[in-house]
Structure 1
């Protein structure tokens, strides 16, 4: 995670002295695709933020999805900015700006992971213990949890930056210890909890489908799809930051991995708006409905009437 603190070279600067033309082509192709995906994903997440802010009636899970869209939007904007700063014309003169943008991208990544973990855990509780969840859940639980997770992500990344940049700048061993603690929290706590919650939801959905022959609620499909996309697309970038960077691997292997993981993480952070559209739209009217109606249907928490589509009036407040 602290590669920008321990080295002033970014990938483009490193490649400028490399004789491996094929690797340079891979870097340019992956960076171009990541830039294009980031711009498109930022537009999609901006639309989700706008609709969830002013257009769709809010429920507890809409609050979570709003915060997740903000985190993904921030991550994609930082990704696009970082790739722009790595172009040959800017790489030498904006190293400090590149460092700051990378720090903010770490913050957005941590916030996105923790928010998705909270979403999966709360939905798992609502499915396993529906009566307790409906009657005993604190009214403003979603808002409080989101605020705490944003604060935790900011605190962790700020402390990591200060420790490595100001106090232990020339001691990579100490920075490794800080990264190990950060990586343990992310890879050893958030990711396993999110995975277990997702598997539990999937098993419960499959059991309900087999026993009662009901279609799963759209919100469950959205959450499961978001978890799967994150684990496949965004987790490799976290593995590089917290694990692979410190391993004595060949430079070419590290560069190839970081290029591909950037692209996959950009795709992952851009995927949620697409998931909302695919899950919330009706096949017969996919292009005729407004985005507000589609998003409201995708995030609704009421069960769908069997054998017909749910009315597209947006989610209800109650749980």
Structure 2
């Protein structure tokens, strides 16, 4: 596998270390001649189909069929983020199959930005949701009085604006060029080589490390609180969010690891980095369809859901968390009310 066959708008390690077309002396194999690449194309097509239609259903149900609550606001925003990402996957699939970028400079920049917009918006929303759950458990009376759809919407808008800002470097450094009579979409840091490391590290810290720490702290507090109140059975509504968080980090960790390794690509085997970045990128894309799957199969008992229709299963799974949290808040409110004469 050569340097030109496994960049499909996810990673850095494509043509960043090549500054002159004359450096290319051997023709490259096409993606369809490589077994790993063909398998990843098939996987990406499956991810597109599941993610596009799955997130479309979540958007339809949580946005139009259910009462607007704080929980449905979180889920709707996550589904929109994943749906947007999946909508652009066919462009990347075409790039993989043809081994050539035919969509122009704007789409080269835009599709890469959408990928990072999905990454940042998803993790920021997961952080917000984790904090929301933690506050609901630690301060149930305050949460019941102040946890509103309007405030949740403001937080969602803030998360999206921050994600857009952190995705902007792709619009700056993504370019197209011609090598061996082949047009490619790649990252060009030749004008500012230090930006490669700065961008990679900032994406890792802002989009992975710091959010991970916050989420771990929030869920640790929740577990300790539930255990201290002997209400561990009430942890059921957190299973959905825990599964979503676990899926996000499992999907994104390999990508970040290989992106950081690629910063010193001369120290590592090229084939390992090539395969690692391809697989890591596919795992990252898989996160976009796992969310709606988890909504369906993690919320209620599987057998009961299997007997109901698909739409009914998704609506029950999405709504269950809010109902169970509300019951827990109501019980906690009663306890706190007896302990205090003024709220």
TM bracket (short chain): 0.7 to 0.9
- Measured in 2, the distance between the counterparts of 1:93 and 1:7 equals 23
The corresponding residue for 1:185 is: 206
Matched, 1:29 2:48: no
Choose from 214, 221, 225 the match for 2:233.
214
Q: CA deviation at 1:29?
A: 1.0
Task: Count residues in correspondence.
Answer: 295
Q: CA deviation at 1:112?
A: 1.1
Choose from 127, 140, 149 the match for 1:117.
127
Q: CA deviation at 1:254?
A: 1.4
Matched, 1:197 2:218: yes
Cα deviation 1:139-188 (Å, max 9, x = unaligned):
52210000011111111212x23554599652222342243334332233
The corresponding residue for 2:323 is: 302
Cα deviation 1:90-139 (Å, max 9, x = unaligned):
61534633443122211111111111111112112112221222224465
- Measured in 2, the distance between the counterparts of 1:255 and 1:29 equals 15
Report if the CA contact (8 A) 1:280-1:298 is conserved. yes
Gaps of 5+ in 2: 1-10, 176-187, 328-343
The corresponding residue for 1:234 is: 252
Choose from 238, 245, 260 the match for 2:262.
245
The corresponding residue for 1:135 is: 145
- The 1:295/1:244 distance shift into structure 2, 3 A limit, reads same
- Measured in 2, the distance between the counterparts of 1:208 and 1:292 equals 37
Q: CA deviation at 1:284?
A: 4.5
Q: CA deviation at 1:203?
A: 4.9
- Measured in 2, the distance between the counterparts of 1:104 and 1:179 equals 17
Report if the CA contact (8 A) 2:63-2:72 is conserved. no
- The 1:2/1:95 distance shift into structure 2, 3 A limit, reads farther
Q: CA deviation at 1:288?
A: 3.5
Matched, 1:262 2:271: no
The corresponding residue for 2:28 is: 17
Query: TM-score by structure 2 length?
Result: 0.73
- Measured in 2, the distance between the counterparts of 1:146 and 1:305 equals 21
- The 1:120/1:80 distance shift into structure 2, 3 A limit, reads farther
Matched, 1:285 2:296: no
- The 1:16/1:285 distance shift into structure 2, 3 A limit, reads farther
Report if the CA contact (8 A) 1:237-1:261 is conserved. yes
Report if the CA contact (8 A) 1:176-1:246 is conserved. yes
Matched, 1:91 2:100: yes
- Measured in 1, the distance between the counterparts of 2:300 and 2:307 equals 9
The corresponding residue for 1:176 is: 197
Query: TM-score by structure 1 length?
Result: 0.78
- Measured in 2, the distance between the counterparts of 1:118 and 1:8 equals 40
Q: CA deviation at 1:268?
A: 2.2
